[in-house]
Structure 1
Amino acid sequence: MLNIPPPVIDYILNYLLEARSLAYLLVKKDGTLLAWGGNLAVYGITNLCQGRSVGEQVCFLEGLLPLDDIPLFLPLIKTEYNVCTDVHIFPSYEGDWVLLLDSTWDENQLSLIQQNTNDFSLIKEKLTKIQNPK
């Protein structure tokens, strides 16, 4: 295991909690919600009921659980509340954990890169037409 100094771990934890709006769900293998916490309201997840099907309460998880002991990472998922999130799902002996991390910043950066790429393609096309008129 890596020997990571406590200040570095503290920084990472604070970053995840504050900048990435960490939230989590713990789902039993039968699909019922066991526990939850973190900043779920950011993702529009409220009024959860322990013991009820998680798929009925968190629509985007329908059909994803239970896991077959292989972690699942779903980047840049747009929730029904228009929040972009990275979804990490991994198994444990208690059940399947679902971690949500806000990825709005990543989405915005990728959109900017895509827009710049499109702009450069248009400029290249215009230059080609100017250099090779028909």
Structure 2
Amino acid sequence: MLDIPPAVINYILNYLIEARSLAYLLVKKDGSLLAWGGKLAEYGITNLRQGGGVGEQVFFLEGLLPLDDIPLFLPLIKTEYGICTDVHMFPSSEGDWVLLLDSTWDENQLLPIQQSINDFSLLQEKLTRIQNH
């Protein structure tokens, strides 16, 4: 394992908690919610019930759990509340962990690039139609 100084680890943890609005859920293999914490309210996730089905409480997780012992990363997922988040899921002996990290900044950086690509594709199609006529 890497020898990382405690000051660096503290900085990374504080950055994830504050700047990326770290939130987490722990879900049993039967799909019931075991524990949660962090900044869930920033993702519009409130009023969770321990023991209740996670898919019924956090709709964008419906059908994604349980994991088959393989971590899963879903970048730039738009929640039902319109918040863009990176979703990291990984299995453990306690159950499946779901980590949420705000990716609004990433989305804002990628959106103009994606729009330019879409505009270029439309222009290319238009030129191809003109050439074929």
Smaller-chain TM-score bracket = 0.7 to 0.9
- The answer for the alignment partner of 1:105 in structure 2 is 105
Could you say which structure has the larger radius of gyration?
1
Aligned length: 124
Question: Cα RMSD (Å) of the superposition?
Answer: 1.7
Q: TM-score, normalised by structure 2?
A: 0.87
Q: Deviations over 1:36-56 (max 9, x none)?
A: 000000110000000010010
* In structure 2, distance between residues paired with 1:32 and 1:48: 11
Question: Could you say which residue in structure 1 is the equivalent of 2:24?
Answer: 24
Letter in 2 for 1:7: A
Once the two structures are TM-superposed, the CA of residue 116 in structure 1 deviates from its matched residue by 4.6
User: CA–CA distance in 2 between the matches of 1:59 and 1:27?
Assistant: 14
Note the 1:80-119 alignment, pairs <5 A: 80-117=80-117
Aligned structure 1 segments of 4 or more residues deviating by more than 4 angstroms: 116-119
**Which structure 2 segments of 5+ residues have no match?**
128-133
The Cα of 1:118 is off from its aligned counterpart by 5.7
TM-score by length of 1: 0.87
Q: Which residue of 2 aligns with 1:51?
A: 51
**Alpha-carbon deviations, 1:92-117, whole Å to 9, x = none?**
00000000000000000001223455
1:5 matched to which residue of 2? 5
Check 1:93–1:114 CA distance in 2 against 1; reply closer, same or farther (3 A cut): same
Q: Percent identity?
A: 81
Give 2:62's aligned amino acid: E
Q: For residue 103 of structure 2, what is the amino acid of its counterpart?
A: S
